[in-house]
Amino acid sequence: MNTPPVASRSMEKGAIPSAQNNPWKLGTPWIWLLGAGLSVLVLMLFWLVGLLFLRGTLAFWPGDLWALRMQDGTVYLGEIRKEEPVPGRPGVSRLQVRIGNRDVYGVDFIWVARDRVVQMARLQGAVFIERRQWGPFIGFVAAVRTPEGVVSGQRAFEAFMRHLEPAHRRYEAILALEKGDIGDVNYAMEQIRLRRARAERLGQREVIARLEETLHHLEARYRELAERARRLRQEDARYTVELRTIEGRSRTLPISEVIRAYRPNDLDMAGKMGVYAARLWEFFSSEPRESNTEGGVFPAIFGTVMMTLLMSVFVVPFGVMAALYMHEYAQRSWILSAVRIAVNNLAGVPSIVFGIFGLGFFVYLLGGHIDRLLYPERLPTPTFGTGGILWASLTLALLVAPVVIVATEEALAAVPQSLREASLSLGATKWQTIWRIVLPGASPGILTGMILAVARGAGEVAPLMLVGVVKLAPELPFDHNPPFFHLERKFMHLGFHIYDVGFQSPNVEAATPMVFATALLLVLVVLILNLTAIQIRNRLRRRYRFG
């Protein structure tokens, strides 16, 4: 017999492998190939996180404005978004320029071939203006017209910036009137109409008469408010700004139409940071504009959070109950193991299947019945018989129920049997044991399961598309009109926002930064939830190791 080869591991430090150790025999290339697999995996993760982080955070950075003079004499002014090789023309690259001014040019993004550009310069004084409509305007401030007079020339920009703040106040006043007061009157009128329809169905004459009277009052109030809003608008229209593009075409608009204006080429780092912070705040706090390509994602954040909270309210008590039943009460039998495997496997069933179930069962079956019983006066317009936040949260609750059940069962199993026996032997009832001993011991584990469930639910989109998520919800599912929670309403969701803006948007180029920012936000939320769960789990493990 040959002497066995010496294992390489045995000569850990400093030893020189002898020549007989052929790397092929030792398997070094194959081991390295295994390592390459791991490297690819890690690289993918780094790449994705890096990409999301970079593109997501840069989305709000105010870029410099470049003036490009082309061979044929045309001049463009805009933000250079990216440079890439021209397909089919090796060695030639092209620039994507955001030229804005969609109302003037018809497009706001153009591609220019790099070799056609004669001159490129950062133009001092060029202004980037974010408007409520038509996307940004890129050009110059030509003149400001107010009741106090006209300012033009060099001082126009300063005058414009001075008038911006009062204009915003006027705009907010109009908005408060139209969205707030008039919206409330409209809501009240709608409620009364529905009550009248119900009264008509029941034949309550005097109720109808009373409702008619209220309706008259409301209509008068509506007219009065509308008149006030009209006057405010008239006043607002007297403050205008004239903007000019780089080729000298001009556009005049009310100052209140402008959200933000700055001259990126003249800003220092601090100034740019200021703009960045303002845009970031807008992203978190305001509603989307321009078919979701600009503005903020507040309604989507709100919808996601509310849906997830509702889902937790449904899933946690019931999930824990199911786990308690399976672990503490049920007889051990093959049926129980079969059920356990089945519940386990439901976690792997495609989420879209839950969406189908939600649509068929909750929306059409339950919702349809509820509508026929409780809201017959609104039919055929469905109330609960269409997707809404309630059905969405219930669907997701079912989707994540296996996660909660499995995690809770594991947590219950981790509580030492001796604790239970000690409690029972002291005369406590089973429930007292569970409530005082088992559940407190298992609570970190249950919390872990809950957080994992929330993370799964927050990132899930496919089933929501069937049960109530929309690209633009006019109202939040929670507001100051009683009964405050409007669970039948449709809602917006960060994940669906990504899908919708990235894929259904008419202006994908303009939307891309927003999508990256939204994606980063969603990923951060999900990752933070998961990290918290992992932290809790680790602490839990340590506790029971020593406990």
Partner 1 sequence: MATPSARWIDRLARGIITLGGVGVIAAVLGILVFIFLEQLPLWRGARVQSEMDGALEGLIPGERMLLARIDERQRALAVLGDRFGWRIYDLASGRLQDSLPVPGMERAGRLRAAWWHVPSGAAALFAEDGRLWLGQFRWEHPQTDAGPVRLRIQPDSLWQLSDTLALREVQYHRNTGIWVGLSAQGKLYAGYPGGRIEALLVDSVSTYLLASRAPVLYVGGAEGRLRIYRYEGRAWQGLTDTVLTTPGQPNRQSRIRSLALLIGERSLVIGDAEGHVRVGFFVRSQGGAEHFRIAHEEYRPLPGPIEILQSSERNRCFLAVDPQGRLGLYHATSERTLLTLYTSLPLSEAILAPRGDGVLAITADGAYRHWRLENPHPEVSLKALFGKIWYEGYEGPAFVWQSTGGSDDFEPKLSLVPLIFGTLKGTLYALLFAIPVALLGAIYTAQFLHPRWRGVVKPMVELMASLPSVVLGFVAALVVAPFLSRAVPGVLAVFLILPLVVIAGALLWSRILARYPRRIPRHMEVFLVFALVVVALLVSIELGALIERIWMRGSFPDWAREALGLSYDQRNALVVGFAMGFAVIPLIFTLAEDALSSVPRSYVHASLALGATEWQTTLRILLPAAGSGIFSAIMIGFGRAVGETMIVLMATGNTPILDWSPFNGFRALSANIAVELPEAPYQGTLYRVLFLSGLLLFGLTFLVNTAAEVVRLRIRRKYQRA
Q: Does 62 bind partner 1 (CB under 8 A)?
A: no
Show the tokens assigned to 278. Answer: 């303002």
Contact letters (x/-) for partner 1, 349-368, by CB under 8 A? xxxxxxxxx-xxx--x----
* C-alpha distances in Å from residue 22, one per residue of 1, 26, 29: 20, 6, 11
Which class for 317: exposed (0-12), middle (13-18), buried (19 or more C-beta within 10 A)?
A: exposed
3-class state of residue 176 by DSSP: helix
Q: Does 430 bind partner 1 (CB under 8 A)?
A: yes
3-class state of residue 177 by DSSP: helix
Q: Does 180 bind partner 1 (CB under 8 A)?
A: no
Judged by CB under 8 A, the residue of 428, 439, 472, 476 near partner 1 is: 428
Q: Cβ of residue 526: shortest distance to partner 1, in angstroms? A: 6
Q: Does 45 bind partner 1 (CB under 8 A)?
A: yes
Q: Tell me whether residue 359 or residue 389 sits nearer to partner 1 (CB atom).
A: 359
Name, in order, each residue with C-beta under 8 angstroms of 190's C-beta and a sequence gap of 6 or more. Answer: none
Judged by CB under 8 A, the residue of 1, 13, 203, 482 near partner 1 is: 13
Q: Tell me whether residue 117 or residue 346 sits nearer to partner 1 (CB atom).
A: 346
Q: How far apart are CA 69 and CA 14, in angstroms?
A: 65
Q: Cβ of residue 335: shortest distance to partner 1, in angstroms? A: 11
Q: Show contacts with partner 1 in window 396-415 (CB under 8 A).
A: 398, 401-402, 405
Judged by CB under 8 A, the residue of 203, 348, 474, 482 near partner 1 is: 348
Number of residues forming the site for partner 1 (CB under 8 A): 114
Judged by CB under 8 A, the residue of 461, 473, 514, 540 near partner 1 is: 461
Cis peptide before 380 (omega within 30 of 0): yes
Dmax (CA) for the chain in angstroms is 110
Q: Cβ of residue 332: shortest distance to partner 1, in angstroms? A: 15
Q: Cβ of residue 54: shortest distance to partner 1, in angstroms? A: 11
Cα 435 to chain centroid, rounded? 38
Name, in order, each residue with C-beta under 8 angstroms of 41's C-beta and a sequence gap of 6 or more. Answer: none
Q: Does 339 bind partner 1 (CB under 8 A)?
A: yes
Q: Is the CB of residue 211 less than 8 Å from the CB of residue 219?
A: no
Judged by CB under 8 A, the residue of 39, 74, 250, 381 near partner 1 is: 39
Q: Does 36 bind partner 1 (CB under 8 A)?
A: yes
* C-alpha distances in Å from residue 172, one per residue of 240, 245, 282, 303, 353: 17, 28, 15, 24, 45
| Closest to 97 measured CA to CA, from 250, 314, 246 | 246
358, 359, 363, 365: CA torsion to nearest 10: -90
Judged by CB under 8 A, the residue of 89, 231, 436, 541 near partner 1 is: 89
Question: Which among 3-11, 70-78, 156-164, 198-206 is the span making contact with partner 1, rule CB under 8 A?
Answer: 3-11
Q: How far apart are CA 279 and CA 61, in angstroms?
A: 8
| Closest to 179 measured CA to CA, from 524, 496, 480 | 480
Q: Does 5 bind partner 1 (CB under 8 A)?
A: yes
Judged by CB under 8 A, the residue of 159, 455, 487, 540 near partner 1 is: 455
Judged by CB under 8 A, the residue of 28, 57, 286, 291 near partner 1 is: 28
Judged by CB under 8 A, the residue of 98, 195, 279, 456 near partner 1 is: 456
Judged by CB under 8 A, the residue of 50, 51, 152, 186 near partner 1 is: 51
Q: What angle do CA 253, 258, 263 make, to 5 degrees?
A: 110
Query: What Rg do the C-alpha atoms of the chain give, in angstroms?
Result: 32
Q: Tell me whether residue 290 or residue 460 sits nearer to partner 1 (CB atom).
A: 460
Q: Is the CB of residue 413 less than 8 Å from the CB of residue 354?
A: no
Q: Show contacts with partner 1 in window 467-526 (CB under 8 A).
A: 495-496, 498-499, 502-503, 508, 512, 515, 519, 522-523, 526
Q: Show contacts with partner 1 in window 526-545 (CB under 8 A).
A: 526-527, 530-531, 534
For CA atoms 344, 347, 352, 358, the dihedral sign is positive
Q: Show contacts with partner 1 in window 189-228 (CB under 8 A).
A: none
Q: Does 440 bind partner 1 (CB under 8 A)?
A: no
Contact letters (x/-) for partner 1, 272-311, by CB under 8 A? ----------------------------------------
Q: Cβ of residue 460: shortest distance to partner 1, in angstroms? A: 7
Q: Does 113 bind partner 1 (CB under 8 A)?
A: no
Q: How far apart are CA 480 and CA 12, in angstroms?
A: 71
Q: Cβ of residue 111: shortest distance to partner 1, in angstroms? A: 13
Q: Which three-class secondary structure string do you get for 269-313? A: HHHHHHHHHHHHHHHHHCCEECCCCEECCHHHHHHHHHHHHHHHH
Show the tokens assigned to 224. Answer: 């009065």
Question: Which among 1-9, 109-117, 180-188, 209-217 is the span making contact with partner 1, rule CB under 8 A?
Answer: 1-9
Question: Which among 45-53, 134-142, 195-203, 372-380 is the span making contact with partner 1, rule CB under 8 A?
Answer: 45-53
Q: Tell me whether residue 258 or residue 529 sits nearer to partner 1 (CB atom).
A: 529
DSSP assignment of 163-192: HHHHHHHHHHHHHIIIIIIIHHHHHHHHHH
Q: Cβ of residue 120: shortest distance to partner 1, in angstroms? A: 24
| Closest to 113 measured CA to CA, from 84, 143, 150 | 84
